[in-house]
Structure 1
Amino acid sequence: MLLAFAGLFLTGSPSAAEESPTAAKQPTAPGGHLLVYPNAAWAKYPSLQEAIRAGDQVGVSVVVFYERPNYDSSGATLTYSVFRDCTATLSDKDFKFPNFPNGWSNQASSVTTQLGNGSHCDVWMSDLEGFLGECGNKWIDLHWDLRQVPYGCDNKASSFELS
């Protein structure tokens, strides 16, 4: 964990809003509370709250994907921190992630961008890597059960965009 955190300061923040196709692919299975930093380094934390705090120390934590419905953090969680907050409009895409870390594709059952830290992002999920396919088909700020969004997004998201 310390090496991933130290690597953040050695490599710096990405200059483009789109992450590289291989960014954050290294983790191999859900479990624990994974944080992906602004430079695509990652680390696991003992609790979701610690992952969000760590993300806010180096950027802005903007989205949490939960392995279980109803924002159940007793299962695995995946938090993303970015180098700046999203803009207030949905007409632009502030950040694009063409894939999830290994082991996280097709795993999300609930999602929130309301983290209590003042971030302003919404998430648009796609069921294939590279933003292809239907999954949710709308901007979401939070949803407790992704089976209930259009096209059923539970355990289907493989890429996402933030605005």
Structure 2
Amino acid sequence: MMDFLAGHFDLIRGLHIVFVMAWIAGMLILPRLFVYHMKTEPGSDMDAVFKLAELRTLRIIINPAMILALLMGLLLAMVDTQRLGPDFYLKPWALTKIAALIFLFAWHGFVSKARRQFAAGSNTRSEKFWRMTNELPFLAAIVIVLSVTTKFLGH
């Protein structure tokens, strides 16, 4: 199994990157949908359109992309553990990536809950909140990409 994974490392890494891009894109789109949704009249046709768009964004883009990104990431981690030893997780760049990932998973849960609140007509956040927090997944992605690609310029 490890030989197969190591032999397909570049393919797995490429798929991981593609799925992460889709996951982040979805998490950038959903809060923007919330911003526009807030401008609709509750119970209107547009309210229903936004509820459906939010649900589909979460179920068709965000959730599957997150699961596939996680799966590919775990496969990559298995290969790296074999190649580099388990202590590579304790390097500052890896801990930084893990911290940013924990944030992304928490944000995913947060926007999922918010989507349910919008669907129930019980959103408690302001339009300003959603505008201000919209880019958080992208900032986390920057931290992750730079920590992995530069390894903080050390080995």
TM-score range, shorter chain: under 0.3
The structure in which a higher percent of residues are strand is: 1
Greater RCO structure (CA 8 Å; 6+ sep):
2
TM value normalised by structure 2: 0.25
The structure in which a higher percent of residues are helix is: 2
Looking at CA atoms only, which structure, 1 or 2, has the larger radius of gyration? 2
